[in-house]
Chain A
């Protein structure tokens, strides 16, 4: 199975900060990379699909980039509602869609 590794595992930041989360695949996955946001006690929510496409209704401060094995999720200006856990997921290896271990974004 393709392994997905996120860094950092946790991150402290302040409202208004620019934040970047990295996801690395154990082999090339082209652009088949998706990002999800999960708040405590809630289901994950799709933010970005195929590396850089913004899901409908998601604020434009979220963006994604990368291809091959290295990907990033960037939040341009953190808002209070953005403090959550973020997961990357590869959708290249059908149907074994593995997730990263998550990055917990906390308020500094």
Chain B
């Protein structure tokens, strides 16, 4: 069965950096696009970033463009989100989510999330 397990969250000071990981299993990771979606405490869902199956195309929300980098290692079945220049408003639970073999935006599977807290 499809399983997505995020890790790497924690408390970081404003301006700091953090790298999130999402370990995938139960499907052929290298053939699916992947997303990061976040949810601030008590708030709704915000799409953050997407990467194509081969890592050659990446897209970002305006709110994180230039600060966050999505990447993947298909040999390790792992998705990453490098977050730099973190701000208080980046505080959220970050979820990785699986798309289809072509980019559909239909998020059929989600991880359990990892909490990032940006605070001094």
Q: Which residues of A contact B (CB under 8 A)?
A: 32, 34, 36, 42-46, 49-50, 55, 87, 89-91, 94-102
Contact = CB atoms under 8 A, between A and B. Distances in A.
Contacts, number: 56
Contact of B105 (A43, A95, A101): A95
Contacts of A87: 44-45
Contact of A55 (B59, B108, B111): B108
Interface of B: 35, 44-47, 50, 59, 61, 95, 103-113
Given A43-B110, A43-B112, A45-B110, A94 B45 contact: no
Given A44-B95, A90-B105, A95-B50, 18 more contacts: A34-B107, A36-B107, A42-B112, A43-B95, A43-B110, A44-B107, A50-B106, A89-B107, A94-B105, A95-B103, A96-B47, A96-B61, A97-B35, A97-B47, A99-B46, A99-B47, A102-B44, A102-B45
Contacts of A99: 44-47
Contacts of B105: 32, 34, 89-91, 94-95, 97
Given A34-B105, A44-B45, A101-B44, A95 B59 contact: yes
Contacts of A50: 106
A32 B44 CA distance: 19
Contacts of A89: 45, 105, 107
16 contacts: A32-B105, A34-B106, A44-B95, A44-B107, A46-B106, A46-B109, A89-B107, A91-B104, A91-B105, A91-B106, A94-B103, A95-B50, A95-B59, A97-B47, A97-B105, A100-B44
